[in-house]
Amino acid sequence: MKKLLMTTTALLMTVGMASAQATQTGAGLAPANASAESNTAATASQDTGSIFNESLALDTAGGGNDDEASATAGESGNGARGRVNLTNAITAQGQTTSGISATVAQQAANANLQFQVGNNNQAVNMQSGSSQESATVQEGEDNDAIISQTDQGNEAAIAQLGNLNKSAIFQNGFDNAAATAQVGTENSSIILQDGDHNIAANSQFGNNNAAMTFQNDGDNTAAQVQVGDDNMSFISQGGGDTNMLSAIDGTMRNVAIPVGLSVTGAVAGAATLNSAASIQLGTANKSAIIQQGNGNQAVNYQSTP
């Protein structure tokens, strides 16, 4: 059986691992680093010398549950992290710097762990299949989180620190993995993955930020980081400009590009070996990335003075 660990051990955050890079921005160009290489990795980091405000989606060509999705948001003393498959011993984990930690250790079976501290928080978990994990941590007031996973080796982790944050992860397919971390107030994160070997990671630090990732079929990889307020980021790889996915209990999520972003004529299509990374630092930035086809790479960086 799986090992479910609830701890109050302090969160230790260290510099993240480096990854192969093809399309990239470097630290000399901006106080941020983004990389995208199809079928390998998509990374987005504030590049402050720590793991805070970093989003990693690391893929392996062979597939399988050895891939990593990690999202970390916040700052020292005020941070949250959601990650899957960082090591063989940690399959799904949600953490906050205040010492709240929910961990699912790798074993063969379904497992779920939810840890809520505060008032009026809601967390829903639904799993149907094999070798799935889920970890949810919410610390604050009026936060909502939902995870729905069906079939095969899906993994998910959500960590929210603050108030009025909303996060949803639906995974319906084969070897998906997802991680979401939000720190602040009224942030919204949606990850919908329907299909093969998809990976996604989200990280938001600030207020009123909106991040969306839907990936349909193929070997897609995505990473997003937003630091500041009122930022909007949207990544769709093969999923068009709208997407709808039903949770196991019938709950629907019909999502589209946030108001303020406009993409015309994008419909769901073939999606293989795509990779995308987006970083936004500052206030009121808007970004949209849609990739359909074979072997695409994308990287985006935006900042305000």
Between residues 62 and 122, the one the model is more confident about: 122
Cα–Cα nearest to 177, from 83, 107, 51, 290: 83
First to last CA, the chain: 51
**pLDDT tens per residue, range 44-59:** 888 777 778 888 888 7
Residue (of 175, 171, 182) closest to 96 by Cα position:
182
Query: Cα-flanking dihedrals φ and ψ of residue 248, to 5°?
Result: -60, -35
Lowest mean pLDDT among 127-141, 146-160, 261-275: 261-275
| pLDDT tens-digit series, residues 129-146 | 767 788 888 889 999 888
Q: Are 234 and 257 in contact (CB under 8 A)?
A: yes
What pLDDT, on the 0 to 100 scale, is given for residue 62?
Answer: 52
The pLDDT tens digits of the residues spanning 187-217 come to 999 888 887 788 899 899 999 999 988 887 7
How do residues 276-298 score in pLDDT, each as one tens digit? 888 888 899 888 888 877 778 88
How far, in Å, CA of 68 to CA of 55, rounded?
Answer: 10
pTM value surpassing 0.85: no
259 or 18, greater pLDDT: 259
Q: Which residue has the higher pLDDT, 226 or 40?
A: 226
Distance separating alpha carbons of residues 233 and 24, to the nearest angstrom: 18
pLDDT bucket at 229, cuts 50 / 70 / 90: very high
pLDDT of residue 26 exceeding 90, the answer is: no
Q: How many helices (H) and strands (E) does the chain have?
A: 0, 28
In this structure, the strands spanning 166-172 and 221-229 are: unpaired
pLDDT at 33 over 70: yes
